[in-house]
């Protein structure tokens, strides 16, 4: 039986571009994704936002916006850590420059 709240980070499984990791103080393991995978997912979310505007689908727009905001926030934190550790980011996208339009009507 797995520890419910491990004291150290524990890697359960590793597959290409991701892993199943149990973080200290957390009940459930997480899926850890590579930064380049997250950047690809952010690109997809912004694509879906554009398609939602094209098809005038407001619900899809706001769902894609919510996803894009979460991914952008994660990537900004990821880049902050990379910079503090002296590491390069594994993608070309400039996450800080992505402006997510908050209103469907204005987009």
* pLDDT tens digits for range 2-25: 667 888 999 999 988 899 999 999
Given a contact cutoff of 8 angstroms between Cβ atoms, the answer to whether 49 and 65 are in contact is: yes
Q: Cα(24)–Cα(8) distance, rounded to whole angstroms?
A: 5
Confidence at residue 95, expressed as pLDDT on a 0 to 100 scale: 97
**Which bin fits 16, alpha (ψ -120 to 50), beta or left (φ > 0)?**
beta
pTM over 0.85? The answer is: yes
What band does 102 get if pLDDT is binned at 50, 70 and 90? confident
pLDDT digits 0-9 by tens, 26-44: 999 999 999 999 999 999 9
Residue 1 has pLDDT above 60, yes or no: no
pLDDT digits 0-9 by tens, 49-95: 999 999 999 999 999 999 999 999 999 999 999 999 999 999 999 99
Q: Cα(43)–Cα(93) distance, rounded to whole angstroms?
A: 9
Q: Name the residue ranges covered by the structural domains of the chain.
A: 1-33, 34-97
Q: Which residue has the higher pLDDT, 29 or 106?
A: 29
């Amino acid at each position: 039986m797995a520890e419910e709240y491990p004291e150290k980070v524990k890697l359960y499984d590793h597959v290409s571009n991701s892993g199943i990791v149990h973080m200290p103080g957390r009940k459930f393991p997480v899926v850890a994704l590579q930064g380049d995978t997250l950047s690809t997912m952010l690109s997809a979310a912004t694509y879906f936002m554009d398609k939602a505007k094209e098809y005038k689908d407001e619900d899809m727009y706001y769902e894609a916006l919510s996803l894009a905001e979460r991914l952008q926030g994660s990537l900004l934190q990821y880049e902050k850590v990379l910079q503090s550790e002296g590491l390069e980011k594994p993608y070309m996208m400039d996450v800080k420059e992505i402006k997510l339009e908050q209103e469907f009507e204005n987009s």
